Amino acid sequence: IGVNLFRQLTEKPWLNETGSVVALRDGRTFSLSMEKLGLRVFLVVVMVLFSIMIAAYTERRVFSDWNSVPIPWLLWANTLILILSSVAMHRAWNSASRGQIDGVRVGLYAGGIFALAFLVGQLLAWRELVAAGYYATTDPANAFFFMLTAVHGIHLIGGLVAWVRTTTKVRRGYKASKIRLSVELCTIYWHFLLLIWLILLALMLLT
C-alpha cells in the first residue's frame, strides 16, 4: 500500500510514459515534445521582454531631449552575417532530418562561426559609436541603442551555449538521428533571434 501511495503522489499526470505532454481534459497526446514546449514558452517570454523594451523606446523618443543615433554601416554587414548564420543552421536541420551527419557538421560550424562574427561586429559598431562621442550615458537614444543591441547579443550568446553542446555531440560521433531535435531547437532559436534583430533594426531606421 505504501509503494502504491508513493507512486500516486509522485506520478506526473500531465506526462505519458514517453514524456510527451498530454491534454488533461480528454487525455489526447500532443505531438509537441517537452523540449519544444519549453523552447516555445521561453520564446514567448523573450518576445514579451523585447516588446516591453520596444514600447518603452517608442514612448521615450517623443521627448525633446531625444537625439537619434546614426546607424553604423557595420549593422548592415552584421545583419547579412546573421542571415547567413540562420541559413547555415537551417541547412544543418535539413541534413539532420535526412540523416546526413556531414551536412549537419558543416551547417553547425558555419552557423556558429557566423554568429560569433555577428557578435564581434556588434562590438565594433559600439566602438565606432563611442569613438564618435555617442556614449550610453549622454543621451536616451544612445542608452536605448546600447541596451537593445546588448540584450539581443546576450540572448545570442545563450544560444551559442546550446550550440556548443550540440556540436560537442557531433564531435563525439553521435548519429544524425540522435541530435536532430537539438539541431532543430537551435535552428528555431536562430530564426527567432534573426526576426528580433530585423525588427530592432527597422525600428532604429524608422526613428
Cell of 86: 540562420
Task: Count the alpha carbons within 13 Å of 73 in the hemisphere toward its beta carbon.
Answer: 0
Phi, psi of 23 (to 5 degrees): -75, 130
**Confidence band for 136, pLDDT divided at 50, 70 and 90:** confident
Residue 166 CA to residue 117 CA, distance in Å, equals 19
- pLDDT digits 0-9 by tens, 77-133: 999 999 999 999 999 999 999 999 999 999 999 999 999 999 999 999 999 999 999
**Confidence band for 198, pLDDT divided at 50, 70 and 90:** very high
- Tracing cell 558543416 back to the chain, one arrives at 106
Whether the Cβ atoms of residue 159 and residue 186 lie closer than 8 Å to each other: yes
- pLDDT digits 0-9 by tens, 40-75: 999 999 999 999 999 999 999 888 888 888 889 999
Whether the Cβ atoms of residue 186 and residue 110 lie closer than 8 Å to each other: no
